[in-house]
Amino acid sequence: MKKLSVLALLCLMTASAFAQRYEYGEPVPINEGKKSKRNRGGGDVALKQVRFGAFIAPNSGWMKPTANKSDDKLFIVDKGSSQMGFAWGLMMDYYFAENYGIATGFQLNRMGGNISITQNPAVTQPVAINQVRSADFTYKVQYLEVPFGLKLRSDDLGGIRVFGQIGISAGITLSKKATYDVVFTDTAAGTAIEKRATGENEKISGLGITPILLQMNVGGGIEYAITEKMSIYAALLFNNGFTPDATNPKELDLDFKGKFSDGNVRMNNIALRIGLFF
């Protein structure tokens, strides 16, 4: 009987202790699924929310022919020197998972490149009075671009997050100019003579430069948190034009006679982006 009394007393004491724990103890935290527990650095971003930033991006651009001859085989095409450019704009990130998001925004991008062509000595040129012998073009263009890509970033590494991204961008032409040096044939008093035409930063009208530019973007960088929500952003991006043909010199209306083709030219650049998310 005494043992039963002791056992009953112990049960009552245990029940009383559990009751006090649940009645007076700290509340159990509830995970509402809005923020990640590890999302403390590199910008404290709530899931399924948008954050904005601004950036500047010096770049080095070049134009690259897909072949060393024009489509009609009449001209040899060479990639010339690269040109320095500059871009600026706004960026927007939307994270649908802790470390995976969509990167977009818009930017004004000024870039260019150089293309040189000469007549192909291995091909008999068609008989014509006005013929282009050689041409050297340096293009400067400005596009309004909208990128769209997938961004993958690491966990917080003491306030720093490393990320990579890949996507595409579409742009429309805002301005297009060319500095050129063209050697061509003309006639004087019924005799064929050779002339040279030059121009500096001449405006290009029509379809001499594609009005729409499509590029693939790939790169990576880091974000460094400076406050709970703000972070410094730095990235190196390679932008590879893939369609359509960036230049179409047969559509040029400049101060020379004759037409020529430079084949299928792509516009590329490498950009260093420096910005701030807020």
Q: Where are the domains of the chain?
A: 2-277
Quickly list H helices, the chain. 2-24
Tell me the average pLDDT across 159-164: 96
Q: What does the pLDDT read at residue 45?
A: 60
Q: Which residues contact 220 (CB under 8 A, 6 or more apart)?
A: 162, 163, 164, 165, 235, 236
The residue written with tokens 């960026």 in the block is: 91
pLDDT tens string 100-143: 999 999 999 999 999 999 999 999 887 778 899 999 999 999 99
Q: Which residues contact 261 (CB under 8 A, 6 or more apart)?
A: 70, 71, 72, 74, 75, 249, 250
* Amino acid in position 193: I
Task: Band the pLDDT of 277: cuts 50, 70, 90.
Answer: very high
Q: What does the pLDDT read at residue 38?
A: 46
Q: Tell which CATH architecture fits domain 2-277.
A: Beta Barrel (2.40)
- Strands of the chain, DSSP E: 50-65, 75-79, 83-97, 100-119, 132-153, 160-188, 191-203, 212-225, 231-243, 265-277
Which of 55-64, 124-133, 228-237 has the least mean pLDDT?
Answer: 124-133
Q: Say if CB 122 and CB 90 are below 8 A apart.
A: no
Which of 89, 107, 87, 104 lies closest to 151, judged by CA?
104
Mean pLDDT of the chain: 85
Q: What does the pLDDT read at residue 268?
A: 96
**Is the pTM above the cut of 0.85?**
no
